[in-house]
Structure 1
Amino acid sequence: MNLNKLLMLVLSITFISREALSIELKYQNFDALSTQQQSVVKSWIEYGVLASENTLGPLSQDYVPVKLKPRYFAFEPVPWATVNRGNPDGIELHFNRYAAESTLKKDWTLYHEIAHLYHPLLNYEDFWISEGLATYLQNITMLENGIISYHDFKNRLWSGLSRGKQQTKSKQGKLSSVSSNMWSLRAQQRVYWSGVAFFIEAEIALKSKTPSAPSVAQLIKQYQLYRKDPTQDTNHFISKLDQLSHSAVFTNLYRKYIHRKDFPIITRTQIDQLRH
């Protein structure tokens, strides 16, 4: 074997090892797809998991069940998805079986649901934390893996926060109460984006203490080492983030947010301060 061929082989092996997933995916209902569709869907989901691992690190579970719900007709590439909590946690994806691979990879839904796997199941009144975190991390993951630009990242955050602020006018009450009844109230915009505002504030507060402070994404990556704790709940989660960041930022913000009836004030200047 000549030197050029040997070099190409080494580079190929290195590329494959870097692209290898650290976790096994166990597909359900895979045979409902044609061979070509299976290839597209498998590539899409592995791409999403790899992008999430690049930003948030390996998940602290042995494998991920992936329940596939292909649709013959849908206005969106992924009209609906959810996390199925269990042992282990998994994801359920309702998607257009005819969507192109590139279209699926640009859709935000998969990154959002994978992000949910990085935090424990929280109480109903704290869904604003879990949905806000997943929404925030979904955008960070898409940015850091080149799926969206920094300009798009900032605009997505600003547009979402504006929707949350607008809906707060009609979905009134304490955030914890609105969060508990999010589905019946149809208050997703207020709940999700109040949570995003929480993590933006935390991000900025950590940065103000020291420029080298870990980002929210880095803290979630570190948190994976503690996911096997059976006593996980909101207090445990928030306390662990404080412990990992050597601060009281998350606890102080949490105590403020659960009682608030207004929408948090986040400016464009603050969004520009985010370190991504």
Structure 2
Amino acid sequence: MPKFIAVVLVLLGSAGNISMAATPPHQLHWQHEFSAAEQLKLEQWLAFSSQATLNTLGPYPFEMQLYLYRRAGKEPVPWANTWREHSQQVHFYVAPQFSKQQFIADWTAYHEIAHLALPYLGRKNAWFAEGFASYMQYRIMQQAGLIDSATKEINAKFTPQRKHYLHQLSMVETAAQLLSQRRFAAGYWGGAQFFVVAERLLLQQGKAPLNLQIQRYQQCCRLQDTNLQQVIQSLDSVSDSKIFSQLLQQFNQLPAAQFLQLYQL
């Protein structure tokens, strides 16, 4: 039986400019053995990462379940994924020899916890879910004071993948095809362009930025939506616009090369 420990986390250190006044509700589940020092370090990392994510995306209307496993690796978190079957879970496979600061500087926790801001949308819409988490990981890290410019980081990730989108298939078709071929970076950062453009359109129309729209979404709609169409309708509603539905139509229908040219991506 996996060992279970529920803890109330309090960060004993700090990084960046994040406020740690209220630790978000989550439970830790230790699936492998960790020393007391390793447990403390990982608790502090996940307290910081969870709070940073929720500072950007708003408090989630559920308790997160965070699972930890040992895994050898050349980076702090060699693997992580989310599960949604019975609760909102993130499973982290960690190499505990890395320092707390190295864990905090790693993007993985921000990406995975950001996934939980949206319901599970199925494999067909993985481009949307992964694009969202990829886009938000850097917005979260910028707000936490860990990087200087999310826009710079996002552009740097998409630039080498842009070549995959210079044809007549739509952005959705291209990103989905790339993911099916396990070309994850190309699929993720192509999908992220939906949110790059959504952010731009929100600001052009005098709306609140995307992360504040997601905060509103947590309160009204996160627990009721079960598919992509419902998420899009809810985001239109909270932003009092048609930005998300119209953008999804373009992402689905315009040739990818035309979409990139239209928005100068």
The question of a shared fold, defined as TM-score above 0.5 by the shorter chain, is answered with yes
RMSD: 2.4
SS in 2 for 1:76: coil
Q: Which runs of 5+ in 2 are unaligned?
A: 1-18
Percent identity of equivalent pairs: 26
Cα distance in structure 2, aligned partners of 1:40 and 1:172: 49
Aligned to 2:64: 64
Matched, 1:201 2:184: no
1:189 to 185, 190, 212: 185
Deviation at 1:214, TM superposition (A): 1.2
Larger Rg: 1
- Kindly indicate whether the alpha-carbon contact (under 8 Å) linking 1:125 and 1:176 is maintained by their aligned counterparts in 2: no
Aligned to 2:81: 82
The one-character-per-residue Cα deviations of 1:204-257 (angstroms, maximum 9, x if unpaired) are 1111112xx11111111111122221x521000001001111111110110111
Cα distance in structure 2, aligned partners of 1:132 and 1:250: 14
| Greater share of residues in helix | 1
TM-score of the pair, normalised by structure 2: 0.84
Which amino acid in structure 2 is aligned with residue 161 of structure 1?
A: F
Give matches, 1:1-276, under 5 Å: 19-29=21-31, 32-61=33-62, 63-71=63-71, 73-150=72-149, 153-168=150-165, 173-180=169-176, 182-210=178-206, 213-225=207-219, 226-229=221-224, 231-262=225-256, 264-265=259-260
Q: Which runs of 5+ in 1 are unaligned?
A: 1-16, 272-276
SS in 1 for 2:112: helix
Cα distance in structure 2, aligned partners of 1:270 and 1:173: 18
Q: Which deviates the most, 238-247 or 178-187? A: 178-187
SS in 2 for 1:22: coil
Change (3 A) 1:247 1:257: same
Runs of 4+ in structure 1 deviating by more than 6 angstroms, as ranges, are none
- Kindly indicate whether the alpha-carbon contact (under 8 Å) linking 2:24 and 2:50 is maintained by their aligned counterparts in 1: no
TM-score of the pair, normalised by structure 1: 0.81
The one-character-per-residue Cα deviations of 1:140-189 (angstroms, maximum 9, x if unpaired) are 11000101112xx23211111113213446x9844444554555402322
- Kindly indicate whether the alpha-carbon contact (under 8 Å) linking 2:164 and 2:186 is maintained by their aligned counterparts in 1: yes
Cα distance in structure 1, aligned partners of 2:73 and 2:168: 33
